[in-house]
Structures are given as structure tokens and as C-alpha cells.
């Protein structure tokens, strides 16, 4: 854990901030506690105060005041991150962006939206509905777009539309000392200098606080087709997906659920999906296009032993199916009532996916911990949801072992310790193993941009 600032320094910074924010600087125990726990199983520290800025200028004032006193600053979106990113590991000021929630501008011709960081994914979706455009990145949770950019979020549609890396065109960022920069332009691409946008996307609040995002929009598909098919085993499902990708079938989503996940989802959502390794696939395009795509996919799936493709023709059936997929987390939690759940992810080369999942499943089975596996099979990214008794030190240790072996396995197979959940606190122990000398380089970048180390201490960097 990093060392917190001295009480005198914190008091001086908060006094300065009260002058800027008035009653939007909150020091109540309730508010501090609310920002000491997120959807993550990780607990680490508690902020000294929570700030609710309305403008970039106020965020700049927060950073300047904290910088002057060496007081930690961390951003807070919707509290949905899974690796403890937004926790105040060394106290200080947590900047909650909920009041910066305006959709500032939608430019249909340029297919861009400019939003404040506290706008949630669903709010933007609602805002865009009538425009014929959409923002495709969908991590499941109703996260804020600022948080999604900070953690380089992705989700079910990344196989077609990419992650936040691909869908953030530009940012406004407040640096550690309060300076404000803009990255990117309104043009679809640029070759003008270092890719600062990509540097901040995924930097987890350690290099600056995002106060505005310019997002790339896509046309809403004219037609959507969803289908489910059951495979005899995971490797057959992976082989079908690989062939479909190589053939160029543009799948908009392609999700894997293991048999245990299917059982949970069926029970929770009142569905009767076949109890087997499943693929849920979606196609976006013209009516003729999606018809052709699903027919071609069905042929490939059949070639790999799939029991047939069940299409969800009606929009309500489609919504129900994807709602069930997105609700897999509570569904799986319900498999063991009263248990604590850890959701952990890794991402591997497609050719290694079947092995990675099979070895992980065997490891989980041997541990006795319930742990269904599901994920974004087109990206090589999968999740295990581990259900354990938090009161049992043995079970907690078993879970730590499973997470560690899953991360080590991903590295051994040429992958990464996280495809979309990020590093935060939970995966920091693997950064040296994954990046080698590159982790030191990340530390050098951090030192160059935040020499006092006030931005989100205890996360990501050495």
C-alpha cells in the first residue's frame, strides 16, 4: 500500500477545495464508506473526502490543490470495476463524476458524440436511440463512459466494433498538476504525433482525470439476427468461431457459456437453453445480409458438430436472450446463495483458447469451488465466476490460487492477465511477469506525467 499524505497536508488540500466546491466536497462517514467499496471483492483504504465537481475547471482546481499538498486523487465512475481501480488505497480525495453527466453534443454526419465522463452507457444509448446511431461498447454493467475509457473496457460486441481503444476519438484530460489538455481531433484518423488518446485510455486514472470524451458512433444495424447453438465440447465451438472469423463472417457478438453457466442462466431467466457448451451469436447488417451470415455460420457450426442453430427471430426473444447473458453474474451467484463471488478474466490467443478454458475448468473442478466459465470467445477473452464462503480461510486461499494459476496460464499460453477488467490492485502482481522491462517503462511514463505520484496511487504502475 502506498503511504498516505500527512493529516496536515490533507487538511490544507480540503480547505482549499471547500473554497472551490462548497458543499460538493463531502466528508461524511457515509459518503466516504460508499466510496471505499465497489463491485470488486477488493477492499483497500477509504478517501478522506469525496468531491462532486461540475466542470473541468473544478477538476483542475482539485488536482492543483491536491498536487500542491501531495494528496492522492482518484476518479470514481459507477463503482462497477472489478479490480479495485477506484478505491482510495492511500486516502485523499475521490472525485465522483456523477454530476458531470451531460451528453454535450451529437454530430450525426461525423458519427461522433461528445460526452462528460459521468454519462453512463445506457444513458447514452437512450440519448442516441432516435438518431439512428449507437455507441457499441457494452461491458454489461451500466458503467460510466469515463470509467470505461479509463479501464479500456470492452464486452460482448468487441469482436465486431472493438474496445474503448477503438471507439474513443479524443479526450479532455486534467493532468496531475491541474493543467488541461485535449487529445485527438474531430477527424477520423491522424498521424500527428504520439497517440495521447491511446495513452490515457486504459491508464486507470494514474496519468490524468478524463473530463470529456469524444466517442465514435456507428450506424444502428438495419437488421439483427441472434442464434444459439450447442456444441459437444468447447474445442469444437472454438474451432467453429475461428473458421467463421477467417471466412470473414462479421459476427457482432459471439459468446461462450459453459454448461454450468447455462444451468444458472436457465434458472435465473426462465429459459430452457440446451445444457451443453453454448455459443450465442449475433449478426448485424441488412436483412438479406444477416440471413446469409447466419446460414453460413450454421453450416460452419454443423461442420464442427453443433446440434443446430436456434434463431431468436422476434426482437423480444433476442432481448431476453441477451438480457440473460448480461445477467449471468447474478444468475451464477444464485447457484450458491450467501457466497462471495470473484469475477476474474484473462485473454489468450484464439488458438490457445480451448486449452486455456479446459485447463482452467479442470483446475476449478479440482478445487471444489463452484466456478462457471463464460466469455467473449471471438476475442479469446473469458471469465470465471468463483463462488466461495468468505468466512472460510481455506476457500479464500483456494480462490486466490485459482486466480493466480489462471493468470499464469494465460501468460504461458502467450496471452494477457486481463482482457477487459484491467489491473487496478487485483492484477498488479502480474505486471512484471507480463511486461518485463516494459513495466519499468510504464513507471517512467508515470513519473514523467505525475512526478509527485498523487494520481490513483497503488494501482497499475511499479
The residues facing 396 across adjacent strands are: none
Count Cα neighbours of 145 within 13 Å in the Cβ-side half-sphere. 32
For position 299 contacting a second copy by CB under 8 A, the verdict is no
d(CA 71, CA 457): 10
Stretch that binds a second copy, among 122-130, 256-264, 282-290, 318-326 (CB under 8 A): 282-290
Task: Spell out the residues 6+ positions from residue 292 whose beta carbon is closer than 8 angstroms to its own.
Answer: none
Kindly identify the residues of this chain, within the stretch 395-414, that bind a second copy according to CB under 8 A: 410, 414
Q: Least distance (Å) from a second copy to the CB of residue 90? A: 20
Q: Does 383 bind a second copy (CB under 8 A)?
A: no
Told to check if 132 binds a second copy by CB under 8 A, we report: yes
The residue count for binding a second copy (CB under 8 A) is: 97
CB of 368 to a second copy, least distance (A): 29
Q: Give the one residue of 22, 23, 29, 109 binding a second copy; rule: CB under 8 A.
A: 109
Rounded Cα distance, 432 and 425, in Å? 14
**Contact flag: residue 303 with a second copy (CB under 8 A):** no
Report in angstroms how near the CB of residue 75 gets to a second copy at its nearest. Answer: 16
**Does 349 engage in binding with a second copy (CB under 8 A)?**
yes
Which of 194, 316, 338, 391 binds a second copy (CB under 8 A)? It is: 194
Site for a second copy in 230-249 (CB under 8 A): 242, 245-248
In this structure, are strands 93-96 and 73-76 parallel, antiparallel, or unpaired? parallel
Burial class (CB in 10 A: 0-12, 13-18, 19+), 405: middle
Nearest to 64 by CA among 116, 12, 26, 27: 12
Residue 1 lies near a second copy (rule: CB under 8 A): no
Determine the number of helices (DSSP H) and then strands (DSSP E) in the chain.
17, 18
Position 419 contacts a second copy (CB under 8 A): yes
Cα distance between residue 366 and residue 160, in whole Å: 35
Among residues 199, 224, 298, 334, which is the contact residue for a second copy, using CB under 8 A? 199
Q: Is 215 a binder of a second copy (CB under 8 A)?
A: no
144 binds a second copy (CB under 8 A): no
Q: Which of 195, 340, 359, 389 binds a second copy (CB under 8 A)?
A: 195
Q: Indicate whether 130 belongs to the interface with a second copy (CB under 8 A).
A: no
Instruction: List the one residue out of 81, 119, 104, 87 whose CA is nearest residue 202.
Output: 81
Interacting positions 17-76 with a second copy (CB under 8 A):
none
418 CB-near residues (< 8 Å, 6+ apart): 83, 345, 346, 347, 427
The stretch among 30-38, 70-78, 315-323, 426-434 that binds a second copy (CB under 8 A) is 426-434
Least Å distance, CB 150 to a second copy, is: 10
Handedness of CA 344, 347, 350, 351 (dihedral sign): negative
Question: Edge to edge, what strands does the sheet with 373-376 contain?
Answer: 309-312, 223-230, 278-285, 251-257, 373-376, 381-388, 340-347
Count CB neighbours of 56 within 10 A. Answer: 19
- In the complex with a second copy, the residue whose CB is nearer, 78 or 175, is 175
| Interface with a second copy, residue 392, by CB under 8 A | no
Residue 277 interacts with a second copy (CB under 8 A)? no
Contact between residue 133 and residue 148 where contact means Cβ atoms under 8 Å apart: no
* Residue of 151, 156, 261, 456 that binds a second copy (CB under 8 A): 151
Measured from the CB of residue 258, what is the shortest distance to a second copy in angstroms? 20
Q: Phi and psi dihedrals of 221, rounded to 5?
A: -65, 140
Residue selected from 60, 348, 374, 385 as contacting a second copy according to rule CB under 8 A? 348
CB of 31 to a second copy, least distance (A): 29
Distances in Å between the alpha carbon of 328 and those of 79, 171, 268, 423?
A: 19, 32, 8, 23
140 contact partners, CB below 8 Å, separation of at least 6? 155, 156, 326, 329
Q: Is 179 in the site for a second copy (CB under 8 A)?
A: yes
* Cell numbers linked to 154: 470492452
Q: How far is the CB of 247 from a second copy (least distance, A)?
A: 6
Between CA 203 and CA 149 the distance in angstroms is 9
The answer to the question of residue 286 lying near a second copy (CB under 8 A) is yes
User: Which residues are CB-contacts of 439 (< 8 A; sequence separation ≥ 6)?
Assistant: 431, 432, 461, 462
Smallest separation, CB 145 to a second copy (Å) = 16
Q: Which positions from 433 through 452 interact with a second copy, judged by CB under 8 A?
A: 434-439, 441-442, 444-445, 447-449
Please list every residue from 67 through 106 that binds a second copy, using CB under 8 A: none
Q: Which stretch binds a second copy (CB under 8 A): 22-30, 52-60, 367-375, 424-432?
A: 424-432
Amino acid at each position: 500500500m502506498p503511504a498516505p499524505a500527512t493529516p496536515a497536508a490533507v487538511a490544507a488540500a480540503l480547505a482549499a477545495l471547500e473554497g472551490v466546491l462548497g458543499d460538493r466536497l463531502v466528508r461524511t462517514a457515509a459518503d466516504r464508506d460508499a466510496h471505499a467499496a465497489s463491485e470488486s471483492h477488493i477492499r483497500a483504504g477509504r478517501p478522506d473526502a469525496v468531491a462532486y465537481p461540475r466542470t473541468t475547471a473544478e477538476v483542475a482546481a482539485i488536482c492543483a490543490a491536491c498536487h500542491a499538498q501531495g494528496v492522492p486523487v482518484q476518479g470514481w465512475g459507477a463503482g462497477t470495476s472489478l479490480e479495485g481501480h477506484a478505491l482510495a488505497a492511500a486516502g485523499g480525495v475521490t472525485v465522483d463524476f456523477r454530476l458531470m453527466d451531460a451528453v454535450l453534443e451529437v454530430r450525426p454526419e461525423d458519427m461522433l458524440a461528445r460526452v462528460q465522463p459521468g454519462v453512463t452507457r445506457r444513458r447514452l444509448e437512450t440519448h442516441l436511440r432516435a438518431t439512428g446511431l449507437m455507441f457499441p461498447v457494452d461491458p454489461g454493467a451500466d458503467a460510466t463512459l469515463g470509467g470505461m475509457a479509463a479501464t479500456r473496457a470492452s464486452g460482448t460486441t468487441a469482436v465486431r466494433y472493438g474496445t474503448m481503444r477503438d471507439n474513443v476519438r479524443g479526450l479532455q484530460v486534467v493532468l496531475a498538476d491541474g493543467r488541461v489538455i485535449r487529445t485527438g481531433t474531430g477527424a477520423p484518423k491522424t498521424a500527428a504525433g504520439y497517440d495521447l488518446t491511446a495513452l490515457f485510455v486504459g491508464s486507470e486514472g494514474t496519468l490524468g482525470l478524463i473530463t470529456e470524451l469524444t466517442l465514435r458512433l456507428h450506424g444502428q444495424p438495419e437488421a439483427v439476427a441472434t442464434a444459439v447453438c450447442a456444441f459437444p465440447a468447447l474445442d469444437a465451438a472454438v474451432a467453429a468461431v475461428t473458421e467463421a472469423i477467417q471466412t470473414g463472417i462479421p459476427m457482432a457478438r459471439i459468446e461462450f457459456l459453459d454448461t454450468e453457466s447455462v444451468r444458472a442462466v436457465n434458472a435465473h431467466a426462465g429459459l430452457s437453453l440446451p445444457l451443453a457448451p453454448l455459443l450465442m451469436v449475433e449478426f448485424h447488417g441488412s436483412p438479406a445480409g444477416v440471413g446469409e451470415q447466419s446460414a453460413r455460420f450454421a453450416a460452419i457450426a454443423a461442420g464442427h458438430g453443433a446440434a443446430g442453430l436456434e434463431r431468436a427471430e422476434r426482437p423480444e426473444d433476442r432481448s431476453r436472450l441477451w438480457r440473460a447473458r448480461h445477467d449471468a453474474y447474478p444468475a451464477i451467484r444464485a447457484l450458491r446463495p450467501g457466497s462471495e463471488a470473484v469475477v476474474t478474466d484473462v485473454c489468450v490467443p484464439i488458438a490457445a483458447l480451448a486449452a486455456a478454458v479446459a485447463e482452467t475448468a479442470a483446475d476449478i473442478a479440482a478445487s471444489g469451488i463452484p466456478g462457471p466459465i463464460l466469455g467473449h470467445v471471438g476475442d479469446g477473452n473469458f471469465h470465471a465466476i468463483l463462488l466461495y464462503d468468505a468466512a472460510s480461510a481455506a476457500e479464500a486461499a483456494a480462490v486466490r490460487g485459482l486466480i493466480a494459476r489462471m493468470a499464469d496460464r494465460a501468460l504461458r499460453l502467450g496471452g494477457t492477465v486481463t482482457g477487459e477488467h484491467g489491473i487496478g490492485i487485483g492484477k498488479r502482481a502480474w505486471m512484471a511477469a507480463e511486461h518485463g522491462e516494459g513495466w519499468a517503462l510504464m513507471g517512467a511514463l508515470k513519473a514523467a506525467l505525475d512526478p509527485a505520484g498523487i494520481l490513483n496511487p497503488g494501482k497499475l504502475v511499479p
